[in-house]
Amino acid sequence: MVIQTVTALGRLAVRLCPLLVVLAAAGLGYGLGRLRCAARARRIRAHLLARLQITVAQFDAMNDRQFEQALRDVLIRDGWRARQVGGTGDQGADVIAEHPTLGRLVVQAKHTTTAAKVGSPVLYQLKGTAGPVHRAHLAAVITNGKLTRDAQIWGERHQIHWVDRDRLRQWAEHGTPLQELLRLAARPSRYNPCGLRQTGQRSRPG
């Protein structure tokens, strides 16, 4: 009986083998097709981002989340690895970007439809969270509006970068890379503008 059972199973395996081969080949082909489609989509997106230009008028027509996503895409265009993170409890970070030589950048996005001006308190908040919370080497407030004169002065004094409506036009529409627009230098060996030493070192007091 055992011999008959083994023989029957062997015959069944022989009959099913071609079907299994076909199914395996179909599955492999489907998987490879999905990978090729994904790779092609990534190439198309990279090509589009490399040529990305967004006008100030287009920024004005966006909502807050779309504005953050657009800033992320322009950063990617400029060679940053960027992601949109804004939301409840974001502690001042709407976009976080990484650059191989410049380090980590945290962006506070301020979208306005009323031509409102960004004041110094926004920069105070970003200064307080960029280093301790987000481990950033650089921080920037970006708006499609304006900054008050006090906010501009305070940001320059405390190394919190800012991009107002005019700078946004130069960056996103005219194609000037952010690192060139803000004259960002490669991160220093020990300290960064947000008060953090490099990984493994303590922050400087005060």
Q: Which residues contact 193 (CB under 8 A, 6 or more apart)?
A: 137, 138, 139, 159, 160
Beta-carbon neighbour count of residue 129 at 10 Å? 19
**How many whole angstroms separate alpha carbon 180 and alpha carbon 185?**
9
Range picked from 112-116, 161-165, 186-190 for highest mean pLDDT: 161-165
| pLDDT, tens digit (0-9, with 9 covering 90-100), for 7-66 | 665 676 567 666 655 566 677 777 777 777 666 655 655 555 657 999 999 999 999 999
**How many whole angstroms separate alpha carbon 154 and alpha carbon 178?**
20
Q: Which residues contact 92 (CB under 8 A, 6 or more apart)?
A: 106, 108, 125, 126, 128, 129, 130, 133, 134
Strand duo 95-99 + 103-110: pairing: antiparallel
Range picked from 46-50, 160-164, 190-194 for highest mean pLDDT: 160-164
| pLDDT, tens digit (0-9, with 9 covering 90-100), for 110-136 | 999 887 899 999 999 999 999 888 899
User: What is the pLDDT at residue 204?
Assistant: 38
Beta-carbon neighbour count of residue 143 at 10 Å? 24
- Residue 171's pLDDT band, with cuts at 50, 70 and 90, is very high
Identify the H or E element spanning 112.
none
Question: Which of the pair, 81 or 193, is modelled with greater confidence?
Answer: 81
Number of H helices, E strands in the chain: 7, 7
**How many whole angstroms separate alpha carbon 160 and alpha carbon 140?**
6
Instruction: Tell me which residue of 131, 197, 179 sits closest to 158, measured CA to CA.
Output: 131
User: What is the pLDDT at residue 174?
Assistant: 95
**How many whole angstroms separate alpha carbon 75 and alpha carbon 82?**
7
Identify the H or E element spanning 164.
none
Compute the mean pLDDT over every residue in the chain, rounded to the nearest whole number: 81
**How many whole angstroms separate alpha carbon 157 and alpha carbon 82?**
26
| pLDDT, tens digit (0-9, with 9 covering 90-100), for 63-78 | 999 999 999 999 999 9
